[in-house]
Amino acid sequence: MPWLSAPLFAQAPALSVPSLTPVLPPFVPPTPEQAIAFLGTLALLAGLAAAFYGLLFVVLRSVFRRLDFELGIAILNLARIPALVILIFGSLRLALNFLAPSTALLWLGRFCAALLVAAFTFLVGQLFTQAAVYYLKGFAEKTEAAWDDVLIPILETIIPPLIYVFGAFFFLQSLGIDLTGLWVAFGGITFVLGFALKDILANFFSGLVLLIDTPFQFGDMVRLPDGPTAVIKKVGLRVTHLYVIDNYCEVYIPNAELEKRDIVNLSRPTPHYAYSLNVSVRVDADPVATTNILSEIVNGHPDILGDLDEKLRCLDSFLGLKQAENGEISKVEAGRLRQEHPTFDETVNWRAVH
């Protein structure tokens, strides 16, 4: 009878996979050559850093003072301490490369890199909030555009937190902490928020485009594609407010929709606008007398163009204009001054009763 041989199974020895992370000794005393190279490099870098610091914060500061360059002086005042930290720990970080690698030096290098990231983040944040925003606000006060008055507060609110958030990410990464999962989660959250708020973001960026391009501004009279004539009340970040003349009501149009429409600006290139109005009269009314009364009413309004002498004559008889109160001039007097002096601005020189 033949023997039946069963297969024998034996456990194979486990294969050892070498680690990709190098194992460093806790500390290796430097050789004399390494110590000399480290100290020489550190002294050289310290000298260069001191020269650069003196050139930047002594010589350049005196030049800015002679030129009365306030923005440059403010930037140097903000950058003085962060620049000192960056120069000191940057020099130390470069000099450590001449010593034998060890665990202690590895963590010391990471600590120096983290301090460099923290100092640079603080410097960028302070330069933006204390220098850039201050300069932009001064620029906005000198311009008549509306976009900078809206965009600057938004940047002042959004940019600094983003700077410090990204700075915190890079700070932790410099210490050797793996943030791959956080970056993936941050990207996923950004995608979800962008998809959920796509309509709001579209209106927001369309509002910025309208504020920057300024196809119309406050007080302009425009004609919408569907026919009605409206006055621009406000160009917001999400919607634009319009006052429809024919319907005596306000309309709120999302900026993304308004940007796609063909809008006729009736206030440009000149603010003069002709408007037709139908007036119903009795059948037995005298046409000549009716025309004279309507002409007198139109000429009496201070905001309607016409013959100067005729307008000044009809202005006193125009009804519906309030009289002076509390030391203010009346609307009639303001209209008379506007007709006699075209450069008169009642909102700046005098306060008229409306």
Which residues are CB-contacts of 221 (< 8 A; sequence separation ≥ 6)? 229, 230, 231, 232, 265, 266, 267, 273
Residue 316 — pLDDT band, cuts 50, 70, 90? low
Average pLDDT (153-182) is 87
**pLDDT at residue 167 in the model:** 93
Residue 39 has pLDDT above 80, yes or no: yes
Closest CA to 248 of 222, 263, 273, 229: 229
Predicted TM-score of the model (pTM): 0.59
Arithmetic mean of pLDDT over the chain: 78
**pLDDT at residue 171 in the model:** 92
What is the fold, at CATH topology level, of the domain defined by 211-265?
SH3 type barrels. (2.30.30)
**pLDDT at residue 114 in the model:** 93
Most confident stretch, 104-108, 206-210, 347-351: 104-108
Task: Give the pLDDT confidence of 3-26 residue by residue, as tens digits.
Answer: 444 444 444 444 444 444 455 667
**Range with the lowest mean pLDDT among 126-130, 252-256, 329-333?**
329-333
**pLDDT at residue 107 in the model:** 87
Task: Give the pLDDT confidence of 85-134 residue by residue, as tens digits.
Answer: 999 999 988 888 888 777 888 888 899 999 999 999 999 999 998 888 88
**Range with the lowest mean pLDDT among 4-18, 19-33, 205-219, 266-280?**
4-18
More confident residue, 152 or 316: 152
Percent of the chain with pLDDT over 70: 78
**pLDDT at residue 128 in the model:** 92
Residue 341 has pLDDT above 70, yes or no: no
Residue 282 has pLDDT above 80, yes or no: yes
Residue 43 — pLDDT band, cuts 50, 70, 90? very high
Indicate the pairing of strand 229-235 with strand 239-244.
antiparallel
Residue 345 has pLDDT above 70, yes or no: no
**pLDDT at residue 115 in the model:** 93
